[in-house]
Structure 1
Amino acid sequence: MTSDISVRFEARYSNGQSAEQHDVAVLCAIQGLIIENTKSQPIAEWDWKDVKLAEALTADRPIRLQNRSLEGERLAIPDQSILSQLEQLAPYLKRDPVSRAGVQKFTIIGALFLCFALFVIYGLPRIAGPLAESIPMEWEEEIGAGVVKTVTKIFSANESKCENPKGLLALQHLTDRLAATVDTPYRFKVRVAKSKVVNAFAAPGGHIVILSGLIEKADTLEEVAGVLAHEMGHVIKRHPAKALIHAYGWSMLITALTGVSGSSGDLASGFALHLANASYSRSNEAEADETAIEILTLAKINNTGLVNFFKKLLNEGKAEGTRNDDDLVLKYLASHPTLRERIDAIQAKPKPPRGTPISEDDWQAIQNICD
């Protein structure tokens, strides 16, 4: 290697074979660095393409270089002013070029991530049903109880519970009357949470939450029964369990993308909001409506209550998400399909037989359940 001794500096050298360091002189040559011992004898040569920083620069420490091809070889240069000259000669002094192995590694990781993303977006919804069927009922009930607790925190001030004894008894009468019409492994657990929001939703494991704002908005218990039957339809079709599986898939995808892992509490809150905002697909909502009509018919409850409740929201413009300080209304069951489409679909069915009246005393008790 031909030298150009116009640039020469002192350094400490380690050959990587031992921890011992040696005082050396370093000369800049055309092809790279020539390292000489105290007797001016060359002991090592580094090509410029192999010269790189061994660690980040700091003002109070020597420049530390390493040889990319000869693992372990190091140079410690006390004079930091020499760095600007070395940077003009060593192309990789500031950054390490991406190796072929590195490119292959990132390509493989990228391909795996893409496959996982496609699975979450397209594959997971297709297999969510079979996966939901495989969840033990005890697990699903426990998960649902946690979701209900989270929802209560989100929508109900101070986690207010509506537990008037007469109201609870009347609500249980209604629940039992509806549940008796279906053959399902679920045990429906219905509760009312105090909130101005007009909404109701089903959680995994047969849990159903009705917000008191919905009861206040209803004119008859048949309307509440229609909404409750609809939520039972979601439970029977395992829509909440499928939504939970999908939510976990998206959580894993976001973690893989950002490197930030949300807590179980964050996931529960996000899933609770997903349920509360009625983010079910068009087919899911249609299935729940269909099941609700069957339940109401078999329970001999006039199913026009559900239609009347939908019409009320539609006529008041609440389905479009309008809201004010005195009357908070979520887009209850209004996303997919629209309320108008759902009203038309229900009314297109044969007219229901005359329903058995629901006790007026039960209706008054449920209206006062939060007192």
Structure 2
Amino acid sequence: MTVLHVTDCYAGGIPVAIEAYVRNSPPGVEHHLLAQIPDGAPVDDALSDCFTSVTALGRRPLAAVRAIRRVRRRTAADIVHAHSSFAGAYARVALRSSPRTRIVYTPHCYAFERADLSVWSRRAFRAVEWLLSFNVETIAACSEGEAAAAQRRGPLRPRVVHVPNVVAVPLCDARRDGPEGHRPLLVASLGRIAPQKDPMRFADAAASIRARGIEVVPVWMGGGADDDVTRLEASGVHVTGWIPHGEVGRRLAQSDVYLHTAAWEGFPLAVLEAVQAGVPTLVRPIAAFGTLPEVLTLDGGLEALIASRLAGPRAFAAWADTNVARWSDRLRGHTPAHQRTALAEAYRIPQVA
């Protein structure tokens, strides 16, 4: 079986998710990549080695549609797996899903969920998804929230498979010791500096911690437009720019707290990576996470974080251990084995018991 992965933005969490899909696919699947890589985004050699071929997707919609048709013919792909709303639209305009070439679509958060768009823009995106819902074989949703949204798309009930995201960053042994009273609290976040991630919410959270008399060093791992980076740095946040995935794992392990401030998301790999690294994590309560205990959210958990830090190293360590344990329990289904089984279902690959 041959799978052609298509994405219009090979940066942030999408390439990490695709690499995990490749690594955890059932045996015998050949993978090709058709992607647009933004300037400055890192492409690891190991990630490139995952694919039999790598081809650039056109920057303009018409060029992208033509590229999908051309590369599909060249690779004789059995499945075109589109990643993101725009790639999903390009693939479904370029091709007709059929037994010969099936279209599998992972939105990684539907465009109509973007909180930075006007009501009319979001309605337009919903209308496009409704129209294109006739031309897809399977929606491989990356979270339970995305699966629920997919079930509501279109007049025909789509085939939906929940393919859980898994960690792609290697485990790092360089875990930082619990914060001592004499050194700053290292607070981290990760991703593209853009409205979706709401980086200024991260800056505000760091400022709230600092306002309580706690010395804090906020670090954002990722890049974005120059103006957005400058604004975030002006608020006191250190911005690393895009860094290799292995370095992400090392820096996460050295952090005391991870704050995920995204206003909308498919399912954030960064949270999986932080919890895997043993870093206590607080998030914005968005649909991707389902129903969360308030103590795991920014609104409900930030005060407990501050109080434990002020109470001393032992209190903070106890808070951190409890936080990580709760997250680990909630994320127990996000494993390579679960993802492999789900991909086999999405790709209709028979599994031997």
The interval holding the TM-score normalised by the smaller chain is under 0.3
Structure 1 length-normalised TM:
0.22
Structure 2 length-normalised TM:
0.23
Structure with greater helix share of residues: 1
Larger radius of gyration: 1
